Structure 1
Amino acid sequence: MRPSRLSCAAAMSAIALAFAVPALAQETSPQNNAEMAAIFAADQAVRQNLAPDFFKDRARMTEMITGDAARRVQTRALLDAGALQTGEDYRAAAFVFQHGSTPEDYLLAHSLAVAAVAKGSPEGAWIAAATLDRYLQMTEKPQIYGTQTRKTRDAPATLDPYDRALIPDSLRTVFGVPPQSEQDARLAAVNAAAEAAASKP
């Protein structure tokens, strides 16, 4: 007895559904890595509400530097294990390496930030610019976005060395970086506040 057209169609639908279920399962978005999120939270926590005299306190500075180094080791282990999957994972990792101490740390931070953007994190754009600026500074080249401020003991804060002509403000905007006029205004405000504080008896 030949099967009816209806039963054949039902069988084909069942087969199609059986093949479709694994495909749907594969399309499930990956979840942010909880360990990476915790590392990032710790990285940010030590930088919240820093008092002006923080950088003069050697013990506290040493503690932060030691913690930063440990967080880089943890993050590198996650990266090497392929445990970073999402844009947020890569963005968090970029911040951890942005707080490194060598040009290689900053170059890796930049690569992680680019990966964050490629993975769909719009917030990764700013850290991509900042990591490149810091890498350029650490290799004795001028920054190009204007994300990094330098301050020596007795001199005013400065954005220099800074190649202001290489890219336009329209490109800075793409990366979430303020235009040069706003950068200069912020810098002037910082220096004015520092001068006022220094002149108080």
Structure 2
Amino acid sequence: MIPAKASGTGQNLHRTTNAEMTAIFTADQAARDNPAKIDWEALDRADKERRARTQFLIEKGALDSGDDFYHAAYVFQHGDDPADFLKAHALAIVAVARGKSEATWIAAATLDRYLQNIGQPQIYGTQFRHPPKQKWTQEPYRRDLLPDAVRKASGVPPLEEQDKQREDWEKALP
């Protein structure tokens, strides 16, 4: 049996980037510029509004370019539940398929976030957290599942660099 060729990815087609989606993404990122001064309740409300508008654009078929799907992935990555993170992962995959190679990292990060939120260990090592009165951690983390070559191909630092990053955060933000 010969597998059917994937259709509809259209990497070589000229695709228009949606200005509204770009503005939503820009606002999403700007809201996180200074973590020490974030009003988390206001951010949560704004994130919900951005996700609702992004969902509308998706359903309307208004997203076309790799950038559009990359931006939408980031918006849904800041969601509230596993379905948001899984949707973000799917959007990142479309972004990669449409030629946005930088989306490989967000594809890895959204999969890790999804896995951790359904009670499974992450596999790339993109998610760090700092439980109260504990050290920084990436756990649960299945470090042995993927080799560093796959992490590197996905834009994720190798295990040794992740360990150093975690140690640096422990020193800077104990």
Q: What is the letter of the counterpart of residue 34 of structure 1?
A: A
Pick closer, same or farther for the CA change 1:33–1:166 going to 2, 3 Å.
Answer: same
Of 17, 23, 28, which residue of structure 2 is paired with 1:32?
17
**Residues 121-160 of structure 1, C-alpha deviations (whole Å, 9 max, x = no match):** 0111000000000000000100000000011111111011
**Residues 12-36 of structure 1, C-alpha deviations (whole Å, 9 max, x = no match):** xxxxxxxxxxxxxxx9712100000
Q: TM-score, normalised by structure 1?
A: 0.79
* 2:112 maps to 1:133: yes
Q: What is the letter of the counterpart of residue 44 of structure 1?
A: Q
Q: Post-superposition shift, 1:49? A: 2.2
* Alpha-carbon distance in 1 for matches of 2:85, 2:173: 29
Q: Post-superposition shift, 1:90? A: 0.2
Q: Post-superposition shift, 1:96? A: 0.1
Question: Structure 1: where are the runs of 5+ without partners?
Answer: 1-26, 196-201
Report what 2:168 is aligned to.
189
Q: Post-superposition shift, 1:86? A: 0.4
* 2:21 maps to 1:42: no
Report what 2:5 is aligned to.
none
* Alpha-carbon distance in 2 for matches of 1:95, 1:28: 23
Q: What is the letter of the counterpart of residue 47 of structure 1?
A: R
- 1:43-58 matched pairs, under 5 angstroms: 43-51=28-36, 54=37
* 2:90 maps to 1:105: no
Question: SS in structure 2 opposite 1:62?
Answer: helix
Q: TM-score, normalised by structure 2?
A: 0.91
* 2:53 maps to 1:92: no
Structure of larger gyration radius: 1
Q: Post-superposition shift, 1:194? A: 2.4
**Residues 153-175 of structure 1, C-alpha deviations (whole Å, 9 max, x = no match):** 11111011100000100000111
Report what 2:9 is aligned to.
none
* Alpha-carbon distance in 2 for matches of 1:150, 1:30: 37
Q: Name the count of aligned residue pairs.
A: 163
Of 124, 135, 141, which residue of structure 2 is paired with 1:162?
141
The structure, 1 or 2, with the larger RCO (C-alpha pairs under 8 Å, 6+ apart) is 2
Q: What is the letter of the counterpart of residue 76 of structure 1?
A: Q
- Displaced runs of 4+ in structure 1, greater than 6 A? none
* 2:83 maps to 1:83: no
* Alpha-carbon distance in 2 for matches of 1:71, 1:165: 36
Measured on the aligned residues, the alpha-carbon RMSD in Å equals 1.2
Question: SS in structure 2 opposite 1:182?
Answer: helix
* Alpha-carbon distance in 2 for matches of 1:157, 1:105: 25
The sequence identity of aligned pairs, in percent, is: 48
Question: Structure 2: where are the runs of 5+ without partners?
Answer: 1-11
